[in-house]
Amino acid sequence: MRLAEADAMRIVAGNTSIPLPTVHESYWQNGVGYIYLSKVEGVALGTVWDALSDRKRDVVVSQLTAYVQAMRKLSGKFYGKLGRLKSEDIFFHHLCVAHKAEHDFHPYGPFGSRAEYNEGLVQALRNARPPGEFSAQDEVLTGRVRALAGEEKLFSHGDLHLGNIHVDQDANVTGLIDWGGAGFSISQRDYFEARLRSSKSTWDDALEKAFPPDAKIDFDLLKEFDIALTKYSGF
């Protein structure tokens, strides 16, 4: 699966102006995937964000907005990682000890339609329940999840947190890194996962400005669902 990261980066580099590491070489050897990348200059945004002026934060937001728009123009025919691999969306990574084997071996994708993706979410919730059975509250929640609509299969980075965005001293973005979870997903993925991992209200505000309205649809429901997934898990 590791080489899917190289494929994702090549697609982004070939179809957008988003700054990112250059993939010099990628290959399998003895069952291990290797990727040789160029180094991204600058520092992680998280190390300087609190000290940035409002003007420099606006510089970052303006660039991030453009990069988000560019990624969202790339679409696929399935939900999952490049190479038609399983989805790396956060919903499929919450482990319940009683069903660890199901999480390790259950093929959460690739999904060909939103209905299939929604059923994958339902299966993930079932695997997150120690008895493997739904409560009445779970049944109501899964009904709402199955009703989620939108067939867009948009390219997403999957981990747009402050540590994966590098900037120079003038707050110009020098590169987005860590494309290991990139792939095609629902319209809300990047906004939802970025907000989920955010620990700063000022970064929440920045994300609010950088993403379009359709990326924020169903945020409250998806958050409720994600919380339900973690009820019996360690994370």
Residue 105: its pLDDT value, please? 64
Delineate the domains of the chain, giving CATH numbers in brackets.
41-235 (3.90.1200.10)
**Residue 138, burial from CB neighbour count under 10 angstroms (0-12, 13-18, 19+):** middle
Strand partners, 35: 26
Whether residue 31 contacts residue 1, with contact meaning beta carbons closer than 8 Å, is answered with: no
DSSP the chain: -HHHHHHHHHHHHHH-------EEEEEEETTEEEEEEPPPPSEEGGGTGGG--HHHHHHHHHHHHHHHHHHHT-B-SSBBBTTTBPP--GGGG--BGGGHHHHHHS----BSSHHHHHHHHHHHHHHTSTTS---HHHHHHHHHHHT------EEE-S---GGGEEE-TT--EEEE---TT-EEE-TTHHHHHHHHH---HHHHHHHHHHS-GGGSTTHHHHHHHHHHHTTTB--
CA-based nearest residue to 203, from 44, 37, 35? 44
Residue 232: its pLDDT value, please? 80
Residue 129: its pLDDT value, please? 86
Q: What is the DSSP letter of 45?
A: G
Task: Give pLDDT tens digits along the chain (235 positions).
Answer: 568 999 999 999 999 999 999 999 988 888 888 889 999 999 999 999 999 999 999 999 999 999 999 999 999 999 999 999 999 999 998 866 556 666 566 679 999 999 999 999 999 999 888 877 899 999 999 999 999 999 999 999 999 999 999 999 999 999 999 999 999 999 999 999 999 999 999 999 999 999 999 999 999 999 999 999 998 875 5
